[in-house]
Amino acid sequence: MRSTRLITFVLVLLVACSDRRPVLEALPPDVKARLDLTVVFELPDSGGLLANGTPLDTSQVEGELRAIFDGRAPELRAVLVWDNPKRPAVVIWALKRATESAGGRLYDAALSDWPRGD
């Protein structure tokens, strides 16, 4: 298990260093219609990470998502991100990896027509 995580981390790091962003899909309409609670990440220009408007350390993402996903149907373990092209691709790769490790799936908030929390 530990070696699998290390290999996954190294692969994500290698891809992220290329500055190629992961391709995120839109939230499927049937899931969007049933979703009652989710986490929406934002990447401010100033750095850091916001989860539903609250600052969150990137090292806490996977643990927080595991707690949120506990007891939730797998198809409702959806997380959205408002990408910011001014931020490095590695941030999106790290969110994608943490979300998938927690048992969820990361979607593009813009493609999903998700309301912004501004």
Model pLDDT for residues 49-60, shown as the tens digit of each residue: 999 999 999 899
Burial pattern 68-85, b for ≥16 Cβ within 10 A else e, equals bbeeeeeeebbbbbbbee
Given a cut of 60, whether residue 107 has pLDDT beyond it is yes
The backbone region for 5, taken as left when phi is positive above 0, alpha when psi lies in -120 to 50, beta otherwise, is alpha
What was the pLDDT predicted at 19?
Answer: 73
Average pLDDT over residues 26-35: 92
Return the pLDDT at 1: 59
What is the chain's mean pLDDT, rounded? 88
Q: What is the pLDDT, as a whole number, of residue 6? A: 66
Q: Give yes or no for residue 101 having a pLDDT over 90.
A: yes
Do 68 and 40 touch, CB atoms closer than 8 A? Answer: no
- The least confident of 11-20, 69-78, 83-92 is 11-20
C-alpha closest to that of 91 among 106, 110, 113: 106
